[in-house]
Each structure stands twice: as C-alpha cells, then as structure tokens.
Amino acid sequence: MKQYFVTGTDTEVGKTYVTCQLLRAANNASLTAIGYKPIAAGCELVNGEWVNEDALNIQQASACANGQTLPINEINPIALTPPIAPHIAANEEGVALTHEKIAEGLNALAAYRPDILLMEGAGGWRLPLTIGSDNTPTHYLSDVVKALKMDVILVVGMRLGCLNHALLTAEAIRADGLIIKGWVANDITGNMTRYQENLRSLKVMLPEPLLAEIPYQTGIEAGTLLSAIEQLS
C-alpha cells in the first residue's frame, strides 16, 4: 500500500479535484484507492450527519476491494460547521485537532488495505491545528504528515503568484525532511496571462516530476492520469 499526502499552494487550488481524479484513475487501473480528508470546515447537516462537499466527493471517488461505500465519518472524521480556518472553527466548537485523532483515522482506512491511500490536507502546507503561547508551540497539520513520514503530492494552482507560492511550499516540504513525489499543474482560472511561460518556469525550478497538467474546466486525458498513477503505485 502506498500512502500520500495531497497539499496545495493555497486554498481553492483544486486539491479535492486532483485527489478525486487520481482515485478514479487508480480504480480504472484495477487498483483500490481510498481518499481521506481528516479535517473539513463548512459542513452541513445531511440526514443526521455533518457533511462537507469535498469529503462527499472523495467518498464517492473512493473504492474498497469489496466495493463497499465507506461511511462519510471515516472519510472525514473531523467535520466542522463554520466555513472558516479549521483551528478557529474547532476552538469555537470545542473540538480538539490532534495528531492522534488524525493518525487514528488514517490507520482505520489503511485497515481496508487499499493499493493507494490519499490523505488530503486543508488550505496550504502550514495549516495550524492549535495556536501556541509563550509556553506551548503552535502545531500544524504538516507536523502530523512529517511524523507519519508521508510522501507529498503538491497541487499548484496556476494563477498569478503561483511561482512564488509553489517554490516556497516545496522548500517548506523539503525542509521538513519529506519527499515530494510529484506536482500537478491545475489551471484554475482559464485566463492566466503567459500560462505556458509560467508552466515552463515551474518545470525548470521544481526538480520533482510533473505528474499531470489539468486544463481549465475540461477533462483530463486518461493517458495522463494513467501515467500519474503508474508513478504513484
């Protein structure tokens, strides 16, 4: 089983879309693949359960060996109501964002023994879980990923400023001692000036492989996704 953490250069850069596309591509390649969104804010009450749209998409894209649909609370164990920064939402709701809770959820999904397990972050790489004080440090989701020694997939939202965001994020991941398995260029606006020039620049400046390029609001070629899955599996 291969486990990866999916992070992005910012919020709203397409982490969930990329996660779901990779999950479906793995399933189409006769591999079992499960997605995990440990923390999600902006949840709504649906049939007695707190549901986040991203987590729901991941649930629908995941597949176990026996074909069962996994419960939403296993895909997303920490479901927060306010659509705000998770550590603030958790504080308001009296929910603890802990390493143990996140790792416990990951292990529960690993027990299904999928070929690929993708854990999707929230926001960018340095997502706070708790804010420290004079006597206690601030804890980040990246600390959990570091402790679990997970390889990372970086989603780059292709828009003005993405070069700086991508390079700083990649530097932070490497500084944490983790491997960037590859990165995905996601065209999130469809109107980025000098898109190809920016993409070429990223290819030169990021030594890790480009797993896939996702055009704006169009489907990804099956061959592109298959190639990405072959590099991950």
- As annotated, the active-site residues are 37
Contact 64, 114 (CB under 8 A): yes
Cβ atoms < 10 Å from Cβ of 108 = 13
**Residues contacting residue 194 through CB under 8 Å, at least 6 positions apart:** none
DSSP 8-state assignment for residue 159: S
**Cα–Cα distance measured from residue 97 to residue 82, given in angstroms and rounded to the nearest whole number:** 15
**Cα–Cα distance measured from residue 85 to residue 82, given in angstroms and rounded to the nearest whole number:** 8
Helix (H, G, I), strand (E, B) or coil at 187: strand
How many angstroms separate the first and last alpha carbons of the chain?
Answer: 8
